[in-house]
Structure 1
């Protein structure tokens, strides 16, 4: 391989990840079109029901229906228990407590991804200093590509598939008053968790290449564990009352269906 071709390899790999992220975002949008709407008459969530909800969350089952996913490579979901419970608590506060997360988040998704990339890069560099190896450089490159792809996917998918009905007005206000702003610079890791738990289904629907799926899972697992160990830093944003009561014409958003049906929280 010529030096020129070698220099082009990281760019080609990065392009594949971005292209895959775009397909995943499109798949996320299409997967929400025909889903039943959320009911407003939800019963009280019991401990047993909460566990049932987290199980369905992790298995990608929404609205009490297991979606048919086209044949192709699949990524096995991974989510620590404390993050699963946080997802359900987030759902309860928004759909039952009539709250929304503070915006802008003091620890937005872009900050978290930057902090994790800095930490992971330093970790790889320490390994490289002990045992000089080109594999360490490749690992750093792969990690940065996946993080970049996750950020792009979050920005693309937030308004299409990661918001609950009760958050729509807040999002419309955000879009109307912060033209051109990236969602990852304003929304926090509560919303990133919704993407991460939905990612296996998105990837399956997008029919990504197997090596991209393997790389993505390899890089995501340590990132999720890192976040799980730092909940107090990145997942303590707080909530406020929904004060965004005015609709803004011309702005259309999708609906998050991670946990939306009363059948998911019944005993």
Structure 2
């Protein structure tokens, strides 16, 4: 009877067992806006269910989006703060390192091998679709970084602000349909919803 009552929580508890030495208040929480959550579901569906891929190189790239955000924050705040620049550098670094390891679906791995050559950063090729996936993995990635609670709180606020910026520019940054070149074009190509 105890197992059935906690069925959904058991797996989560098991996956966190190895992280027990990390204090719960230092866990990074990244609140993804609901429209971006839908974007993630659509992304998953295009790639894993419909055999479609994001056509690369993307425009705007991850680097372009980070630059646009920096420009947006500078205009809004009237000054460029070092902390925003550091956060964006961190996002870019995490993106470049995490993409091949944990941000690609199985069907995208060959495309990555074909597109990413030596001395090419994924952030100069990939776009918002893959960048958004990073925010799902960030709590897991940052769990092992030694960050003071106060700094962690400010980081969470900056990440949320960045996600709101992505959300505000969703129609510009994200594709509404993926490239169907892997499979013959079908009627469902135009179906976004």
Q: TM-score, normalised by structure 1?
A: 0.58
TM-score when scaled to structure 2? 0.79
Deviation of the 1:237 alpha carbon = 6.5
Aligned length: 167
Point out the structure with the larger helix share: 2
Question: Which of 141, 165, 171 matches 1:226?
Answer: 165
What secondary structure, in the 3-state scheme, does the structure 1 residue paired with 2:179 have?
Answer: strand
Instruction: Give deviations 1:73-113, integer Å, cap 9, x for gaps.
Output: 11122111000011011001100100110100011110000
Deviation of the 1:122 alpha carbon: 1.4
1:143 to 81, 84, 91: 84
Cα deviation code 1:33-63 (max 9, x no counterpart): xxxxxxxxxxxxxxxxxxxxxxx9xxxx9xx
The residue that corresponds to 1:22 in the other structure is none
Q: Please give the alpha-carbon distance, in whole angstroms, between the structure 2 residues aligned to 1:102 and 1:162.
A: 16
Q: Is the 8 A contact 1:101 1:240 kept in 2?
A: yes
For structure 1, the 5+ residue unaligned runs are 1-55, 126-135, 244-267
CA distance in 1, matches of 2:49, 2:170: 23
Tell whether the 8 Å contact from 2:46 to 2:53 is kept in structure 1 after alignment.
yes
Alignment of 1:65-214 (within 5 A): 65-66=11-12, 67-68=15-16, 69-70=19-20, 71-72=22-23, 73-125=26-78, 140-175=81-116, 178-204=117-143, 206-210=144-148, 211-214=150-153
Which structure has the larger Rg over C-alpha atoms? 1
CA distance in 1, matches of 2:70, 2:55: 25
Partner residue in 1 for 2:185: none
Structure 2 distance, partners of 1:208, 1:234, is 32
Asked if the contact 1:104–1:186 (Cα under 8 Å) also holds between the matched residues in 2, the reply is: yes
Change (3 A) 1:141 1:182: same
Going from structure 1 to structure 2, the CA distance change for 1:65 and 1:191 (only over 3 Å counts) comes to farther
Structure 2 unaligned residues grouped into runs of 5+: 1-7, 183-193
CA deviations on 1:193-242 (whole Å, 9 max, x unpaired) are: 110121112211x2321244223212111111011011111012742236
Q: RMSD value over aligned CA atoms?
A: 2.1
CA contact (8 A) 1:101 1:237 kept: no
8 Å Cα contact 2:30-2:159 kept in structure 1: no
